[in-house]
Amino acid sequence: MKFYITILGMIFLTLIACHKDEESNGLQGSWSMINATGGIAGFNQNYPKGQIVWKFDDGDLAITNNYNGQLNFSYLTGNHHYFEIIPAKQTVLYIDEHQFGDISISNDTLVIDQSSSISDGFLFTFVRQ
5 φ, ψ to 5°?
A: -65, -40
Name the residue with higher pLDDT: 52 or 71: 52
Domain extent listing, the chain: 25-128
Give tens-digit pLDDT for 93-104: 999 999 999 999
Helix (H, G, I), strand (E, B) or coil at 10: helix
Write down the pTM of the prediction. Answer: 0.77
Return all residues near 88 (Cβ < 8 A) that are at least 6 apart: none
Query: For 7-22, how does the pLDDT look when each residue is reduced to its tens digit (9 = 90+)?
Result: 655 565 555 554 444 4
One-letter amino acid of 61: L
Q: Which residues contact 80 (CB under 8 A, 6 or more apart)?
A: 60, 61, 62, 63, 95, 96
Flag the least confident range among 29-33, 107-111, 117-121.
117-121
Q: Average model confidence (pLDDT) for the chain? A: 86
Per CATH, which fold does 25-128 belong to?
Lipocalin (2.40.128)
Query: Are 105 and 99 in contact, with CB atoms under 8 Å apart?
Result: no
